[in-house]
Amino acid sequence: MAKEHSFDISAKIDMQLFKNAINLVEREIANRYDFKGTTFEINYKEKENVLVLVASSDNKLDTLKDIVIAKLLKQGLSSKVLDELRVEDASGGTRKATFKVVDYIESKEAKKIVADIKKMKLKVNAQIECDHIRVKGAKLDDLQKVMKMVREGDWEAPIVFENMR
């Protein structure tokens, strides 16, 4: 009997890399000339899984967002890790942007991924298990085709492949 291979599709992020990126942003902003003498704040609330950025103007807030995304990409994380919830006025005439840190695949999107895998008509089995999708198959080539299709898709969550066996 042929050995069955499998892998998991999830959206887990390495929180240490995420925190490193936020620390790098804080250091860079503290040293940038265009932020000297202005109000800014970068606050990651771990319990709520929320990142809050505060800056003195909309332009500074946009610059801050760009720097955060650049540092996430440098750490090997996807820009889809952050989902903007709202931008609002804060105290002292500043602007505040709140981002949700996405580290899971929503059930609606997971169902669409499983449906797309089944449309490929390969001899693989994909099923949703808790916060990830397990894909099983006898041929490694079929699993690699599935990985390629999922990588090329445009998903809301930052897709990660784990536990390749």
Whether residues 93 and 82 share a domain: the answer is: yes
Whether residues 132 and 59 share a domain: the answer is: no
Whether residues 109 and 91 share a domain: the answer is: no
**CATH number of residue 132's parent domain:** 3.30.70.860
Look at residue 70 in the predicted model and tell me its pLDDT: 92
Look at residue 2 in the predicted model and tell me its pLDDT: 55
Whether residues 121 and 58 share a domain: the answer is: no
- Residue spans of the chain under pLDDT 50: 1
Look at residue 1 in the predicted model and tell me its pLDDT: 41
**Residue ending a domain, choose from 101, 116, 141:** 101
Residue 153 domain boundaries: 5-12+104-162
Domain count, the chain: 2
**Residue ending a domain, choose from 101, 126, 148:** 101
Q: Are 124 and 135 in contact (CB under 8 A)?
A: yes
